[in-house]
């Protein structure tokens, strides 16, 4: 393990969020190690690395372009908080058609899982609905996600967020969850 990786791990474990972001901005060369950690399975280091990337990245950050496929491939196996941060990263990138399709499928499936944290479901739905705006022929798939059994277990606040997302996309809501 390199000294830079040890230093990043130390910061991720012992520093406050603001200090973590300052470190990354001060040391832009550490991003490649941060990406490596974010793709790994060393918790809480891995999800914190993904969080830090999501917090500090620019829209369509070129430094992340080569890692898009890796983030997509590891997304389904990660735990909820880690998935949420990877969804945020990928949602901020311009994806090619193949990447868009794979990411859409994953987000669609994540939203359908009743035991997923609300934050994962909401972030996954945001991407799904963004694709509905881009590809209107997907609208019926989004309408299917508005069925009550996919929304069971969401808090009132999460339901309100989901309802607003559906309405902003002009998706016909199935059932009476709102």
* The token pair that represents 105 in the structure block: 């499928």
Q: Are residues 37 and 122 in the same domain?
A: no
Cβ atoms of 50 and 89 within 8 Å: the answer is yes
Q: Is the peptide bond before 44 cis (omega within 30 degrees of 0)?
A: yes
Residue 75: domain span: 1-93
Task: With CA atoms as reference, report the closest residue to 125 among 168, 93, 156.
Answer: 168
- Mark whether 83 and 4 lie in a shared domain: yes
Pick from 40, 85, 102, 92: which is nearest to 64 by CA?
Answer: 92
- The low-confidence residues of the chain, meaning pLDDT below 70, are 1, 174-178
Decide if 66 contacts 39 (C-beta within 8 A): no
pLDDT confidence of residue 175: 58
Residue 61 confidence (pLDDT): 95
Regarding whether 176 and 113 lie in a shared domain, the answer is: yes
Chosen domain end from 75, 93, 111:
93
* Nearest in space to 69 (alpha carbons), one of 90, 44, 52, 47: 90
Helix 118-134 and helix 156-168: axis angle, to 10°? 10
Round to whole Å and give the CA distance between 16 and 6: 17
Q: Please give the C-alpha separations between residue 46 and each of 2, 40, 104, 162, 178, in angstroms, as whole numbers.
A: 16, 6, 23, 28, 36
Q: How many domains does the chain have?
A: 2
- Say yes or no: 139 and 174 in one domain: yes
Per-residue confidence (pLDDT) for residue 176, from 0 to 100:
55
Query: Contact, 64 vs 35, CB < 8 A?
Result: yes
pLDDT value of residue 38: 97
**32 shares its domain with 84:** yes
Report helix, strand and coil shares of the chain as percent, to nearest 5: 75, 0, 25
C-alpha angle with apex 137: 134 to 138, nearest 5 degrees? 75
């Amino acid at each position: 393990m390199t000294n830079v990786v040890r230093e990043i791990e130390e910061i991720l474990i012992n520093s406050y969020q603001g200090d973590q972001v300052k470190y990354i901005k001060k040391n832009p060369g550490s991003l490649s190690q941060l990406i490596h950690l974010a793709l790994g399975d060393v918790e809480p280091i891995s999800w914190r690395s993904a969080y830090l990337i999501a917090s500090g990245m620019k829209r369509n950050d070129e430094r992340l372009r080569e890692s898009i496929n890796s983030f997509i491939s590891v997304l389904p196996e990660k735990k909820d908080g880690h998935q949420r941060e990877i969804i945020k990263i990928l949602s901020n990138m311009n994806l090619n058609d193949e990447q868009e399709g794979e990411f859409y499928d994953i987000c669609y499936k994540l939203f359908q899982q009743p035991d997923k944290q609300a934050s994962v479901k909401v972030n996954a739905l945001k991407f799904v609905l963004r694709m509905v705006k881009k590809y209107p022929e997907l609208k019926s798939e989004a309408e299917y996600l508005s069925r009550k059994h996919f929304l069971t277990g969401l808090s009132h606040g999460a339901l309100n967020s989901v309802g607003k997302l559906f309405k902003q996309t002009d998706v016909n809501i199935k059932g009476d969850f709102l």
